[in-house]
């Protein structure tokens, strides 16, 4: 049972890292996509700040997932070492 819990704890931490990675990529790419769309439409004025997303809550949730997953994996690992 501990192996399954350890796997899901590590998976939780990995999911948090993946979310941080994806939000970083999206914040870097979206202003470029916005500029391309603006140039295709030729309307209004372009500002890169209009295309930067606020992902503060998502990033803080991902950091919480990394911390909780890492801590629970550590506890499960230590408990498994004590049982042997």
E strand residue ranges, 24-83: none
Taking the CB of residue 35, how many other CB atoms lie within 10 A of it? 14
Range of the domain at 35: 2-83
Q: How many domains does the chain have?
A: 1
Whether pTM exceeds 0.75:
yes
- Band of pLDDT at residue 82, cut at 50, 70 and 90: low
Q: Higher pLDDT residue, 83 or 71? A: 71
**Higher model confidence: residue 48 or residue 8?**
8
13-72 confidence digits (pLDDT tens): 999 999 999 999 999 998 888 888 777 777 767 777 778 888 999 999 999 999 999 999
């Amino acid at each position: 049972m501990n192996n399954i819990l350890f796997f899901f704890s590590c998976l939780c931490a990995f999911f948090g890292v993946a979310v941080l990675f994806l939000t970083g990529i999206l914040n870097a790419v979206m202003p470029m996509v916005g500029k391309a769309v603006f140039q295709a439409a030729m309307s209004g004025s372009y500002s890169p700040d209009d295309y930067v997303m606020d992902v503060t809550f998502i990033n803080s949730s991902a950091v919480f997932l990394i911390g909780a997953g890492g801590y629970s994996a550590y506890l499960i690992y230590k408990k498994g070492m004590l049982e042997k």
